[in-house]
Structure 1
Amino acid sequence: MTVQFYWYPKCGTCRNAKKWLDENEVEYEAIHIVDNPPTKGELKKIIDKSDLPYKKFFNTSGKKYRELGLKDKLKDASEDEMLDYLASDGMLMKRPLTVGEDQVTVGFKEQDFENAWK
């Protein structure tokens, strides 16, 4: 099974996650999250599959997130509005975003990767 690995090559966390995938011989398709972000429809499927709240998919420490004032805007945003924001710019997404047949991991914690991808 090949997982989809949405990443930003300049991101240290993404590089650590990629290294983990390589070392553990996990087959993946690397997708540049800024050049080829998931579409709104793809994101909805990914988020639904993850059972995580929509807010977990935002890169809350990112410059773009702060510039757009999303901390306040997301409080009252609908799921549809959140999907619009996420699909509009790969830099708004928490990364890496790793998607398999039955599971999704957001960010990189070695234990989460062990549980999901080994």
Structure 2
Amino acid sequence: MTTDIVIYHNPECGTSRNALAMIRNAGIEPHVIEYLKTPPSRALLESLIARSGMTPRELLREKGTPFAELGLGNPDMTNEQLVDAMMEHPILINRPLVVSPLGVKLCRPSEAVLDLLPTGQQGAFAKEDGEQVVDAEGNRVST
């Protein structure tokens, strides 16, 4: 199926890998952007933040980043300063960020991506850690 879905992906991140696998389990091959290699422009990043309904602070990743060293936990930091930091250090952009005809969303946990897919799952799906997310009939498993 050809559907315009974009995933801002980090292949080193299990959550990102799981979201990508669920997109593919719906029969969709998304446009995969490894954002650490090809970061979005400032205008695109600001647009994605706005379209997701998030604030720049909500998109910031703390773990495994220079978040603390840069003082980004300071509540006085402006949205512009936070976006500046993400532009300078793309690792600060949390992932996976998924864009579909149904919206833009930070897919944490990874099964949040199911809300953005215009087609259902084609079969069972379990995350890398073995957690069952979709049953054999393609239905979301509630936790």
TM-score above 0.5 = yes
SS state at 1:113 partner: helix
Question: Which residue in the other structure is 2:113 paired with?
Answer: 113
Identity %: 24
1:113–1:14: structure 2 CA closer, same or farther, 3 Å change rule? same
Letter in 2 for 1:15: R
1:51–1:18: structure 2 CA closer, same or farther, 3 Å change rule? same
SS state at 1:70 partner: coil
Instruction: Provide TM-score, normalisation by structure 2.
Output: 0.72
Letter in 1 for 2:76: D
Letter in 2 for 1:98: V
Q: Which has the higher helix share?
A: 1
Distance in 1 (alpha carbons) for counterparts of 2:80 and 2:71: 18
Question: Which residue in the other structure is 1:5 paired with?
Answer: 7
**Aligned equivalent of 2:23, options 12, 21, 45:** 21
Q: Could you tell me whether the CA contact under 8 Å between 2:18 and 2:110 is conserved in 1?
A: no
Query: What is the Cα deviation at residue 14 of structure 1?
Result: 1.0
1:1-118 aligned at under 5 Å gives the runs 1-72=3-74, 75-101=75-101, 103-118=103-118
Query: What is the Cα deviation at residue 20 of structure 1?
Result: 0.8
Structure 1 unaligned runs (5+)?
none
SS state at 2:66 partner: helix
Higher RCO structure (Cα 8 Å, ≥6 apart): 1
Distance in 1 (alpha carbons) for counterparts of 2:26 and 2:102: 19
Moved over 4 A (4+): none
- Superposed CA RMSD in Å reads 1.7
